[in-house]
Structure 1
Amino acid sequence: MRLLMEVLIPVARGNAAVADKSMSAAINRFIDAAKPEAAFFHLKEGKRAAIFIFEEMKQDKLMAHNEAFFAALDAEIWITPTLNLAELQKHL
């Protein structure tokens, strides 16, 4: 299933994670594990944020993906199943 994961990182924890390089490590661990087809980084509500699009067929792996951001960055995470345009058009 294709998923959209949005990650929102608190400012203070984000600043510390940039300084000690744990943000880069957490993002790289997720990228290596989930192999997202897209990754975008932006600001949301004045905080660091990221959006990842990735495929995951095993629900139990979502816990591991989440934990990397929860533990390292105190992040808020939202995961939403998503379709691309071709998939949507099949059902219209």
Structure 2
Amino acid sequence: MRMLLKARVDTEKGNELIESGRMGDVLSSIIQRLQPEAAYFTPERGHRSCLLIFDMDDPSQMVPLTEPFFSQMGAEVTVQPAMNLEDVQRGMAAVKS
């Protein structure tokens, strides 16, 4: 299932990762693990944030996929199902039937 993961990084932990030169490595590791179809990085409400669209086959994957955000970045994380236009159109066709 296509999922949207949003992570808002704790400012102090983010600063530590940047100052130590580890932020790039942490992000690369997460991207390699998730293999997202899209990845966006933006400030949100005064915090470094990222939005990742990825496929999740099994809900148990949520633990290893989100843990680096919690343990290494002190991030607030939300994960929710997401649809693209094609998905919405298929869903609407099913409603009409």
State the match for 1:56 in structure 2.
56
Q: What TM-score do the two structures reach when normalised by structure 2?
A: 0.89
C-alpha root-mean-square deviation of aligned residues, in Å? 1.0
Larger helix percent? 2
SS in 2 for 1:91: helix
TM-aligned CA deviation for residue 60 of structure 1: 1.4
Q: Could you report, residue by residue, the CA deviation over 1:15-65 in whole angstroms, capped at 9, with x for unpaired residues?
A: 111111332222111111110000000000111000000001021111011
Alpha-carbon distance in 1 for matches of 2:14, 2:69:
11
Between Structure 1 and Structure 2, how many residues are aligned? 92
Distance in 1 between the 2:62 and 2:6 partners?
Answer: 13
Structure 2 counterpart of 1:33:
33
CA distance in 1, matches of 2:63, 2:32: 15
Taking structure 1 as the reference length, what is the TM-score of the superposition?
A: 0.94
The match for 1:77 is: 77
- Structure 2 unaligned blocks of 5 or more: 93-97
Higher Cα Rg: structure 1 or 2?
Answer: 2
- Describe the SS at the equivalent of 2:58: coil
Task: State whether residues 23 and 73 of structure 1, in contact with CA within 8 Å, keep that contact through their aligned partners in structure 2.
Answer: no
Paired position in structure 1 for 2:14:
14
**Of 55-64 and 20-29, the range deviating more from structure 2:** 20-29
